[in-house]
Amino acid sequence: MLELGVLVSGSGSNLQAILDAVAEGRLDAHVRVVVSNKPDVLAIERAARAGVPTVVVPHREFSTREAFDQKLVDVLTRAGVEHVVLAGFMRVLTPVFLRAFAGKVINIHPSLLPAFPGVRAQAQALERGVKVTGCTVHFVDEGVDTGPIIAQRAVPVLDGDTVETLTQRILEQEHVLMVEALSRVSAGLT
Ligand code: GRF
């Protein structure tokens, strides 16, 4: 059983995919806490609706990234979290965080890594003119989108795609991939 903490910053549709899979018995996990760096985001509402404890840690209230990360570590540790999922969490984590949860932090990224790391992955794919892109779930190391890959899904780029249409097509596959990847971690297949 995975003891999960999920970090979010926005709409939380990947969080919802996790919550639904747990509720339906498709994923052997327990979401112990959802932590957001922003108040009033849909992700927090989704967690509350599922009866999962939520904590808001506004990054602007901390003078350094390290102080913010230490607060996250404290919140997650106190909640009994063993694995951390970054589900649309828009802050880069420092070694303070990554060393506390070494090898236990999982991220989802909207491209087939190592292609198009960093921000605007879908726009990068359109600009480069690739015909296939996708999404990746990987363990987080100290680089940006560089850690060991757990699972990937391919998504076609279609004529006439915009950032919005491509983002939506990838997001649908992210929801499937997230559950598939966490199931692999839960089963010890990584
Ligand atoms: C996803 O595209 C994810 O790959 C990226 O941020 C987005 C989060 O979407 N890291 P949501 O908050 O899960 O709906």
Q: 12 to each of 67, 158, 171, 187, how far by Cα in Å?
A: 25, 26, 11, 24
Question: Are the CB atoms for 72 and 97 separated by under 8 Å?
Answer: yes
What is the Å distance from ligand 1's center to 170 Cα?
10
In CATH, 1-102 is 1.10.10.10:
no
Give the tens place of pLDDT for each residue, 14-72.
999 999 999 999 999 999 999 999 999 999 999 999 999 999 999 999 999 999 999 99
Q: Please state which architecture CATH assigns to domain 109-190.
A: 3-Layer(aba) Sandwich (3.40)
pTM for the model stands at 0.95
Q: Is the pLDDT of residue 144 over 90?
A: no
Question: Are the CB atoms for 183 and 177 separated by under 8 Å?
Answer: no
Domain boundaries, the chain: 1-102, 109-190
Of 83, 109, 138, 175, the active-site residue reads: 109
Protein residue whose Cα sits closest to atom 10 of ligand 1: 88
CA–CA dist 122, 135 (Å, integer): 10
What is the Å distance from ligand 1's center to 77 Cα?
24
Question: Are the CB atoms for 97 and 68 separated by under 8 Å?
Answer: no
pLDDT at 59: 95
Amino acid making up residue 71 = K
Would you call 30 a catalytic residue per the annotation?
no
Protein residue whose Cα sits closest to atom 5 of ligand 1: 88
